[in-house]
Amino acid sequence: MTRTPTIQSSKNRLRLGITSTALFLAVSYILFTAPQKISAHLNHSCFFVAAIVLSYNIAIVLSWVSFGLAFGIMFTILSFFAGLAGALRSGCYEAGYYTWSFVISGLLGYVHWKTVRGIENSFSLTREKLEEDINILSDNCARQKAEIKYLDEKLLRYLVLKDVTEVFTTTLLLEDIAKLIIERAASTIKKRGRILLFLTDLDKQELMLSASHGAVKIKGKKGDIFDRWTMKHGIPLVVDDAASDFRFSGSGAEDPKAGFKSLIVAPLLSGNKVIGVLRMDDDAEGTFTQDDLRLLDIIGNLGAVAIQNALLYSWVEELAIRDSLTGLFVRRHFMKRFQEEVRRSERKRSELSLLMLDIDKFKWYNDKYGHATGDIVLKTIASTINGVLHMGDMAARYGGEEIAILLAGADRKKAVTVAESIRKKIEARAITVRRQMHNVTVSIGVSTYPKDGIHEEELVKSADERLYRAKSDGRNKTCAE
């Protein structure tokens, strides 16, 4: 936008320069080549003299306008001496006085040149300042556009976090929450690599892999030095290069071939306890930024709340279906499951067995040593029973010292074998009561579906009758007939 006027001005000055030069040369040529008789004939005509003087003055002014200081001075001097020389040659000495007008024209030209130069310098400075301001504004505009783009992306991410919060409230199952944490971390941060969620085993104080995302094979199911560092310190961690990070150099950091180079790890905090860590890693260096770590930490905090709620829900649910003293299921829950298993056996035409177990002389232990000793006996027997049962079996505190055991898919022969194993292990396990060793015994009654009944009430009645028969026959026995 600034080049066109400059080019046009230069062209105009060139034209004026050519005109002034041509005019000077033409007047000088006429002045020095015209015959003297022309001068005499004109009788030193005022018109002729005025034309010569005017032409030189015009040439001087145009030279100042077109060429500037150096050529302006040169044209002024040349015109002055040319005028004097012409006056002397023509013999018209009075005309020499007019040459002083050339000096005045030169001064006028100088004033014009000075004024124009000052205006041009001022314009040039103003233009440079404007160009500088334009460049600064352009840079600011580009920077603001980049910031707006960054903030738009950040806003989009935090809107996704709002959705994360809502999704985490849709379930109270720990397995589902673990999967949701992994999925939302991947969709929010949108970086390649793998995502791992480790939950803390509070009893062993070690991490256990709960969920993962990504095709990379996971070697450590209990985490590595980076995960353990985060669990120990309870603060987020970002590593640009796992092989060269000074915090882990010489401390058994991951082998460069472990499948990752950069990573971010966020602790899952519940109060002051670290209940897990959420991790993202990649096989390239410097993949993750501090903003990525902040997002992962936010997701981890939200996930920690959801996990804690799921654990509390599971704990409350366990309290509702388990006996607080023995850890066995309560009667109500047991009978519900018993009914379901009877219906399943009916559909599949399979067998199941029920064991009713009672502690021999339990009232005697309570009366002699107190109820605290009776509680110890109950807890010890419950622990022994749980050590014998297999997956799918179920034990419940049926009432007082009576324990019911459900053996799904077991016929009478297998039920008797399990009952005898339980009875012998209980008898062999000594219990210390007031520094004295006691071997508690139990009596067991066995009933089997469908031989002893097709309804749960019939099976319970049959097992109870055989239990009391075992106690009547001397206790510490199993009765299945």
> Could you list the active site residues?
401
Within 8 A by CB and 6+ apart from 447, the residues are 353, 354, 356, 453, 459, 460, 462, 463, 466
Q: Do 456 and 348 form a contact (C-beta atoms < 8 A)?
A: no
Q: Strand 262-270 vs strand 329-330: parallel, antiparallel, or unpaired?
A: unpaired
Within 8 A by CB and 6+ apart from 222, the residues are 198, 206, 207, 208, 209
Q: Provide the edge-to-edge strand list for the sheet that holds 394-399.
A: 329-330, 394-399, 402-408, 352-359, 442-449, 478-479
Q: How far apart are CA 323 and CA 82, in angstroms?
A: 131
What would the two tokens of residue 156 be?
Answer: 């989009």
Q: Do 424 and 440 form a contact (C-beta atoms < 8 A)?
A: no
- Helix/strand/coil percentages in the chain, nearest 5: 60, 15, 20
User: What are 211's strand-pairing partners?
Assistant: 197
Q: H/E element holding 357? A: strand 352-359
User: What are 194's strand-pairing partners?
Assistant: 281
Q: Do 305 and 299 form a contact (C-beta atoms < 8 A)?
A: no
85-91: long-range contacts, CB 8 A cutoff, minimum separation 24: 85/32, 86/31, 86/32, 86/52, 89/31, 89/32, 90/36, 90/39, 90/44, 91/36, 91/39
65-69: long-range contacts, CB 8 A cutoff, minimum separation 24: 65/13, 65/16, 65/20, 65/109, 65/112, 65/113, 65/116, 66/13, 66/14, 66/15, 66/16, 66/17, 66/19, 66/20, 67/13, 67/17, 67/20, 68/113, 68/117, 69/110, 69/113
276 three-state secondary structure = strand
Within 8 A by CB and 6+ apart from 81, the residues are none
What would the two tokens of residue 351 be?
Answer: 């067998």
